[in-house]
Amino acid sequence: MKGNQDKLHRQIAAHFNNLFDMQHHKHVDTDCVEEVSRGRIESRKCLSTSSIDWLEGKEQWHGLRSVVAVQAKRSVAGHTSCETRYYISSLEPRSAELNQIIRSHWGVENSLHWILDVVFREDDSRFRSGNAPENMAILRHSALNQLQAAKPSFRKDMSIKRLRKKAGWDSETLDKIIT
């Protein structure tokens, strides 16, 4: 969940805010994982709970069973960064399982959505109501598929972002991508 659900995000962040420093939490399941890879140390602490009576507007999230917070700390060359992400879930609050699911989800999310955000600036989209967000997502995915399919026809060092820009400037490039 990002800031696009501002009220929900604030409620969940406030709920979990002080819990990361505590060792044991009533009604909160906890899991901690530490990984060392390529000179980077990453630890992820996952907290999850099904005690969501405090959550305003929960009825609009059909199937909601738990809320989750994952705090990721990364240390590279003596520099440490910390990021906390919040989730709502239809799964039971089993933090070990959720921690693993979220980790694998971010691998997929990072590769696809990084491309969509870099190439199409998807995170900056102002389409928020009605069918517009879903329709634009379909158009972006379709355009990305076209660009990726056409990419081998262009120079190897041509990124998807540059190819998209070139198609906007040059009708021959656009024709080559579309056909």
Task: State mean pLDDT over 15-24.
Answer: 77
How far apart CA 116 and CA 89 sit, in angstroms, is: 24
**Residues 159-171: tens digit of each pLDDT:** 999 999 999 999 9
87 in the Ramachandran plot: left (φ > 0), alpha (ψ -120 to 50) or beta? beta
Whether residue 87 is contained in a domain is answered as: yes
Residues 101 and 20 occupy one common structural domain: yes
- What is residue 175's predicted lDDT score, i.e. its pLDDT? 93
**Residues 81-100: tens digit of each pLDDT:** 999 999 999 999 999 999 99
Residues 99 and 151 occupy one common structural domain: no
Expressed in percent and rounded to 5, the helix, strand and coil fractions of the chain are 50, 25, 25
Average pLDDT of the chain, as a whole number? 88
Residues 87 and 170 occupy one common structural domain: no
Whether residue 45 is contained in a domain is answered as: yes
Burial classification of residue 174, based on how many CB atoms lie within 10 Å of its CB (0-12 exposed, 13-18 middle, 19 or more buried): middle
Residues 97 and 150 occupy one common structural domain: no
Residues 139 and 171 occupy one common structural domain: yes
pTM: 0.60
Pull the structure tokens for residue 79. 């520099």
Overall number of domains in the chain: 2
Q: How many CA atoms lie within 13 A of 114 on its CB side?
A: 7
**Residues 42-92: tens digit of each pLDDT:** 999 999 999 999 999 999 999 999 999 999 999 988 899 999 999 999 999
Whether residue 118 is contained in a domain is answered as: no
Q: Is the dihedral of CA 155, 119, 111, 149 positive or negative?
A: negative
Q: Reduced to 3 states, what is the DSSP secondary structure of residue 156? A: coil
Whether residue 99 is contained in a domain is answered as: yes
How far apart CA 110 and CA 57 sit, in angstroms, is: 29
Burial of 36-48, coded b for 16+ CB within 10 Å and e otherwise, reads eeeeeebebbbbb
Q: Does residue 110 have a pLDDT over 90?
A: no
Residues 22 and 101 occupy one common structural domain: yes
How far apart CA 27 and CA 70 sit, in angstroms, is: 16
Structural domain boundaries enclosing 147: 132-178
Residues 64 and 150 occupy one common structural domain: no
- What is residue 117's predicted lDDT score, i.e. its pLDDT? 80
Residues 23 and 95 occupy one common structural domain: yes
